[in-house]
Structure 1
Amino acid sequence: MSHGKQFTLYTHQAGPNGWKVAFVSTELGLTYESIYLDFGKNEQKAAEYTKYNPNGCIPTLIDHKNNDFVVWESNAIIVYLAEKYDTAHRISASTPNDKVFELQWLFFQASGQGPYFGQAAWFKVYHPEKVPSAIERYQKETARVIGVLDGVLSKQEWLIGGKYSVADIAFVSWTNVALALVLPDAQGINVEKDYPAFWVWHQKLMAHDSIKAVWAERAAVQS
């Protein structure tokens, strides 16, 4: 394993959870080497990888400058990076209350957005047979989660602390999945029109230099 970069990031070319970590790392100016696991070859379940991540999923981060410290689960990785490498709290919470709010949104992203958007994409695109009731259920759940965010963002610009933070960044890649795959033909759902505060927030996130750079990196590895 090369230790030329500070971190090794085990990830996947398309997997949204790995790109969340890349966004935060790039925003903090941290250097990482990405190893893209081939899910078609089941590399994420191989012993060479599960010795780091027993769940056999992506992402996993190894911090070579912290005694090869290993952490998995994308939002746990984000908390680790924020706690250890954002001591100035540029993109993370600085007060006890805001730290709780930060965790609140990271938990909501991990338990609400990721699973529902992921199931929506699975049944819409990847499931071997069409199950209209499942597609409709998860499209509606996707819209419901967006509605939760829209309701909050209609009253404030960012999710915590009045600033752009990891709480916002964590939602970006799965939102792009929803906009590209899940909702374009959803009956009666127009994200830009129905959830305007959410829409404006997501456009601002996508305009950030670090997010643009990582999303371009994603496009390059998929080409």
Structure 2
Amino acid sequence: MAMKLSYFDIRGIAEPTRLLFAAAKVDYEDIRYPMAMTTPGDFSTVVRAEWDAKKAEGEFDAAMGKVPVLECGGVKIGQSKAIERFVAKKVGLMGSNEIEEAQIDMLCCHTVDIKDAYKAAKAAGKDDMDAAMKKWFGETLPELLGKVEKSLPAGPGPWLVGNKISYADVTYYYFLRDPKGFFDDVAAAAVATATAPRIHASCEATFADSGISEWVNNKRPAGSLPF
């Protein structure tokens, strides 16, 4: 029985899991709940009637009433990162041994630190966001990616860990290279990888992966909202 992933009809925090399924070419049920925003940009006006009804029925109790929720063999799992790690291991994208698994997990955790730094930079630069983002993409992000580069285990490339695509590659691809990934300024994020040639090579190889490219270019739904 195929696994079932339930989330809103957006990319959001479920998209890395969808990319893992795409990279592994594993079929799953992609359950999407429609969303609408009656006042553009005002999240307090989001409408999601179908999801609200399912929540009231207890559909998402395993995840404290939230999504995403992954169902596998009749068991429901919540929390996006727990889902990502479970799926990565299930579909063979978590390395070939325990050491590689730990290295992959470590690299994925590094992106959380970078995201936290990005949020802090945006908060601190709210009075002059253009200057703050120029410094972030021109100085801070390249410096942080350089530190990640130094933490990479030795390997033949282009993959970050071992000799095949893994959860780490998919994570950095979506973080830095996906046309609709984490950063609004994808071009600036891509330029920042110049300080990290192995990360850059991994992102390019992941984008060229047949499963990823097919999903991104042909299969990925537009979504109810542009994020």
The question of whether the paired residues in 2 share the 8 Å contact of 1:147 and 1:195 is answered with yes
What is the CA-CA distance between 1:42 and the residue it aligns to?
6.1
SS at structure 2 position matched to 1:92: coil
The residue that corresponds to 1:82 in the other structure is 88
Separation (CA, whole Å) in 1 of partners of 2:47 and 2:199: 36
SS at structure 2 position matched to 1:204: helix
- What are the Cα deviations for residues 117-144 of structure 1, in whole angstroms up to 9, with x where unaligned? 56668999xx7x6445643564344323
SS at structure 2 position matched to 1:171: helix
Moved more, 140-149 or 45-54: 45-54
Separation (CA, whole Å) in 2 of partners of 1:122 and 1:202: 28
What letter corresponds to residue 29 of structure 2 in structure 1?
Answer: Y
Match of 1:96 among 88, 95, 98: 98
Q: Percent identity?
A: 13
Separation (CA, whole Å) in 2 of partners of 1:101 and 1:154: 8
TM-score of the aligned structures, taking structure 1 as reference length:
0.68
The residue that corresponds to 2:147 in the other structure is 148
The residue that corresponds to 2:73 in the other structure is 66
Match of 2:133 among 129, 132, 135: 135
The residue that corresponds to 2:205 in the other structure is 204
Separation (CA, whole Å) in 1 of partners of 2:23 and 2:4: 14
- What are the Cα deviations for residues 151-191 of structure 1, in whole angstroms up to 9, with x where unaligned? 4569541222232211211222121346751663x9xx943
What is the CA-CA distance between 1:25 and the residue it aligns to?
1.6
The question of whether the paired residues in 1 share the 8 Å contact of 2:20 and 2:167 is answered with yes
The question of whether the paired residues in 1 share the 8 Å contact of 2:146 and 2:196 is answered with yes
What letter corresponds to residue 79 of structure 2 in structure 1?
Answer: W
Equivalent positions of 1:1-223 (< 5 A) are 6-15=3-12, 17-28=13-24, 29-36=26-33, 38=35, 40=37, 41=46, 43=48, 48=55, 51-54=61-64, 56=66, 60-63=68-71, 65-73=72-80, 75-83=81-89, 85-86=90-91, 89=92, 91-109=93-111, 111-117=112-118, 130-132=128-130, 134-136=132-134, 138-139=136-137, 140-151=139-150, 156=155, 157=157, 158-176=159-177, 177=181, 181=185, 184=188, 190-191=191-192, 193-216=194-217, 217-218=219-220, 220-221=222-223
What letter corresponds to residue 20 of structure 1 in structure 2?
Answer: P
Separation (CA, whole Å) in 1 of partners of 2:220 and 2:118: 19
The question of whether the paired residues in 1 share the 8 Å contact of 2:176 and 2:186 is answered with no
Separation (CA, whole Å) in 1 of partners of 2:62 and 2:215: 24
What is the aligned residue count?
204
RMSD: 4.0
Separation (CA, whole Å) in 2 of partners of 1:108 and 1:193: 18
TM-score of the aligned structures, taking structure 2 as reference length:
0.68
Q: Judging changes above 3 Å, is the alpha-carbon distance between structure 1 residues 119 and 210 closer, same or farther for their aligned structure 2 residues?
A: farther
Name stretches of at least 5 consecutive residues in structure 2 with no aligned partner: 38-45
